[in-house]
């Protein structure tokens, strides 16, 4: 089994190469080569494929890609290489189930397969979206914790401390990360979900020093939480991230590597992006010592995961992983539209469905490309969870037809989506419920979903 010391040895003694050469002269050409060799092709008319042979070819292409290019350490300028035997052994030894949380909120995350009736794990919240104040943070996390299907929380990221904007790797980031941990636990306690796990650990902690400073029980972090560490694209790591790995391992926590290969980036189009996603899963188990994985692939143009080609990437790579491994993978979806718009809810429904019927669980979600402060509410993750549970067990062919109907609702508006409204314009913090306007939008959306053949809960 490859351990953190083995990773360091490979990072220090691997083949020397410049970062540019790794990205443009090794990684990108090899992805194109694997796509051609395995005859991987996406069909725009099939956003959610049912072709098992396609999924299996994608898996083999991703494995071969990792053998050929390895990972890259930016601090040493060397390639971290893995043999096929090391990769296959790591996949075999990876956990097929994990427990998170405490007390009555302690639940089991399990591996799923395509068309699986097992309800997906629902990691719900802001996906690390920016949050301007303690009040907004508490409002959001309270709302997430009250969603019946919530298995774990993904918190927002605090952007200000003492009125000052957080600066990376500064005392402000350390203080914000500690505050992130304290407030998240407080919000869950307020609504009676004391044991619920926080699986993006410290959304505010980008640097290793802030991560280590806040990842302590006295700030509310527990071994039963999830310790998320983000990978650099494509398949890169640095000492700061490996420092996070070492700290998380010392805490005894389950590390989840998040990664977001950009469709239209180094891996090229949807076919190459799907291959890259599969390889990133395997690289995460080895390089980041991950027990669970979190892909969040987004479109270079739309900065979202709801376009037709993105649905294919989510579905095809999900099937490749869930058919050929028992890895625990949760797809994070992004929308272009903002809160209090039907488009936002239709977008998230499409990408959630693509993931769930393909054997993945979900993290939900980044709203309005996840870059606007306080431009998210507890409604969107609640809808995501309702859809995720409703489509569990659905045939991929049926999901494909529903996906095409959903795309017809929003596809033409992806380039100029509505921004929607801010948190307190569409959420009643005291009543902990949507505003009158948002309730009307939800009714309109649910009627639209019923007309397309998917019945959701009658009341929010």
| Residues linked to residue 298 through DSSP beta bridges, in sequence order | 262
pTM of the model: 0.96
User: What mean pLDDT value characterizes the chain?
Assistant: 96
Query: Quick check: 67 pLDDT over 80?
Result: yes
Query: Quick check: 327 pLDDT over 80?
Result: yes
The pLDDT value recorded for residue 406 is: 98
How many whole angstroms separate alpha carbon 347 and alpha carbon 344?
A: 5
The pLDDT value recorded for residue 1 is: 76
Query: How many Cβ atoms are within 10 Å of 370's Cβ, its own excluded?
Result: 23
Cα distances from 119 to residues 36, 99, 321, in angstroms, run: 36, 15, 18
Contact 112, 232 (CB under 8 A): no
Query: Quick check: 293 pLDDT over 80?
Result: yes
Q: What mean pLDDT is predicted for residues 433-455?
A: 97
Query: Quick check: 460 pLDDT over 60?
Result: no
Domains plus CATH for the chain?
A: 97-129+225-238+259-451 (3.20.20.460)
| Residues linked to residue 154 through DSSP beta bridges, in sequence order | 125
pLDDT for 100-146, tens place per residue? 999 999 999 999 999 999 999 999 999 889 999 999 999 999 999 99
How many whole angstroms separate alpha carbon 236 and alpha carbon 280?
A: 10
The pLDDT value recorded for residue 200 is: 84
Q: Which residues of 199-226 are buried (b: 16+ CB within 10 A; e: fewer)?
A: bbbbbbbbbbbbbbbbbeeebbbbebbb
Angle between helices 379-391 and 342-356 (to 10 degrees): 40
150: nearest Cα among 179, 107, 96: 107
Query: Quick check: 45 pLDDT over 90?
Result: yes
Query: Quick check: 148 pLDDT over 90?
Result: yes
How many whole angstroms separate alpha carbon 204 and alpha carbon 160?
A: 10
The pLDDT value recorded for residue 58 is: 98
Lowest mean pLDDT among 6-10, 237-241, 249-253, 311-315: 249-253
Query: Quick check: 387 pLDDT over 80?
Result: yes
> Six-digit token pair at 175?
């203080």
pLDDT for 150-179, tens place per residue? 999 999 999 999 899 999 889 999 999 999
How many whole angstroms separate alpha carbon 269 and alpha carbon 415?
A: 18
210: nearest Cα among 176, 259, 159, 252: 176
pLDDT for 391-412, tens place per residue? 999 999 999 999 999 999 999 9
Query: Quick check: 369 pLDDT over 90?
Result: yes
pLDDT for 79-100, tens place per residue? 999 999 999 999 999 999 999 9
How many whole angstroms separate alpha carbon 171 and alpha carbon 95?
A: 36
In sequence order, the 6+-apart residues with CB closer than 8 A to the CB of 114 are 55, 318, 319, 322, 323, 357, 358, 359, 396
The pLDDT value recorded for residue 201 is: 66
Ranges of beta strands (E only) in 182-323 are 226-230, 236-237, 254-259, 262-263, 292-295, 298-299
The pLDDT value recorded for residue 204 is: 76
How many whole angstroms separate alpha carbon 123 and alpha carbon 120?
A: 9
Cα distances from 34 to residues 17, 27, 116, 281, in angstroms, run: 21, 11, 29, 17
What whole-number percentage of the chain has pLDDT above 70? 99
Q: How far apart are the first and last CA of the chain?
A: 47
Residue 256 CA to chain centroid, in angstroms? 10
The pLDDT value recorded for residue 215 is: 87
Q: Which residues of 406-443 are buried (b: 16+ CB within 10 A; e: fewer)?
A: bbebbbeebeebbbbbbbeebbeeeeebbbeebbebbe
Q: How confident is the model at residue 330 (pLDDT cuts 50, 70, 90)?
A: very high
3-state secondary structure of 446: helix
Instruction: Give ∠ CA 233-234-239 in degrees, rounded to 5.
Output: 70
Query: Quick check: 61 pLDDT over 60?
Result: yes
Q: How confident is the model at residue 206 (pLDDT cuts 50, 70, 90)?
A: confident
Please provide residue 103's backbone torsions phi and psi, each rounded to the nearest 5 degrees: 60, -135
How many whole angstroms separate alpha carbon 442 and alpha carbon 20?
A: 47
Q: What mean pLDDT is predicted for residues 190-196?
A: 96
180: nearest Cα among 122, 153, 219: 219
How many whole angstroms separate alpha carbon 150 and alpha carbon 197?
A: 10
> Six-digit token pair at 94?
């990876």
52: nearest Cα among 320, 331, 271: 320
Residue at token pair 């596809």: 411
> Six-digit token pair at 299?
């479109």
Strands 157-158 and 78-80: unpaired
How many whole angstroms separate alpha carbon 310 and alpha carbon 436?
A: 33
Contact 429, 348 (CB under 8 A): no
How many whole angstroms separate alpha carbon 201 and alpha carbon 115?
A: 30
How many whole angstroms separate alpha carbon 20 and alpha carbon 193?
A: 47
> Six-digit token pair at 285?
């188990």
């Amino acid at each position: 089994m490859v351990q953190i010391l083995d990773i360091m040895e490979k990072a220090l003694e691997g083949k020397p190469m410049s970062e540019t050469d790794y990205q443009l002269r090794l990684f990108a050409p090899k992805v194109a080569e694997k796509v051609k060799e395995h005859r991987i092709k996406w069909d725009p008319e099939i956003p959610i494929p049912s072709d098992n042979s396609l999924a299996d070819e994608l898996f083999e292409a991703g494995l071969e890609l990792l053998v050929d290019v390895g990972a890259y350490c930016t601090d040493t300028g060397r390639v971290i290489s893995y043999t096929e035997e090391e990769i296959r052994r790591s996949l075999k030894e990876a956990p097929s189930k994990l427990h998170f949380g405490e007390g009555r909120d302690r639940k089991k995350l399990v591996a799923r397969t395509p068309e699986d009736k097992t309800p997906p794990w629902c990691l719900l919240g802001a996906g690390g979206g920016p949050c301007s104040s303690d009040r907004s943070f508490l409002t959001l996390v309270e709302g997430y914790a009250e969603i019946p299907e919530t298995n774990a929380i993904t918190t927002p990221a605090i952007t200000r401390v003492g009125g000052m904007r957080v600066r990376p790797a500064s005392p402000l980031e350390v203080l914000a990360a500690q505050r992130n941990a304290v407030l998240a636990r407080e919000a869950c306690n307020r609504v009676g979900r004391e044991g619920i796990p926080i699986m993006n650990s410290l959304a505010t902690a980008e640097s290793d020093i802030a991560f280590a400073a806040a990842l302590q029980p006295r700030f509310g972090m527990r071994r039963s939480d999830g310790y998320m560490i983000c990978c650099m694209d494509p398949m890169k790591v640095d000492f700061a991230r490996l420092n996070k790995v070492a700290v998380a391992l010392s805490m005894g926590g389950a590390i989840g590597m998040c990664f977001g290969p950009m469709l239209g980036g180094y891996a090229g189009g949807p076919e190459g992006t799907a291959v890259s996603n599969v390889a990133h899963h395997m690289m995460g188990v080895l390089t980041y010592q991950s027990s669970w994985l979190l892909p969040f692939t987004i479109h270079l143009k739309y900065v979202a995961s709801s376009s037709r080609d993105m649905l294919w990437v989510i579905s095809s790579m999900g099937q490749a992983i869930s058919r050929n491994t028992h890895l625990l993978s949760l797809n994070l979806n992004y929308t272009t539209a903002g809160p209090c718009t039907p488009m936002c809810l239709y977008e998230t429904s499409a990408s959630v469905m693509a993931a769930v019927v393909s054997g993945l669980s979900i993290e939900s979600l980044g709203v309005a490309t996840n870059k606007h402060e306080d431009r998210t509410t507890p409604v969107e993750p609640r809808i995501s969870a309702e859809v995720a549970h409703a489509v569990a067990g659905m045939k991929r062919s049926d999901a494909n037809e529903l996906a095409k109907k959903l795309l017809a609702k929003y596809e033409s508006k992806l380039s100029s989506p509505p921004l929607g409204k801010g948190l307190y314009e569409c959420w009643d913090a005291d009543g902990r419920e949507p505003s009158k306007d948002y309730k009307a939008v939800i009714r309109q959306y649910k009627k639209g979903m019923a007309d397309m053949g998917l019945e959701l809960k009658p009341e929010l």
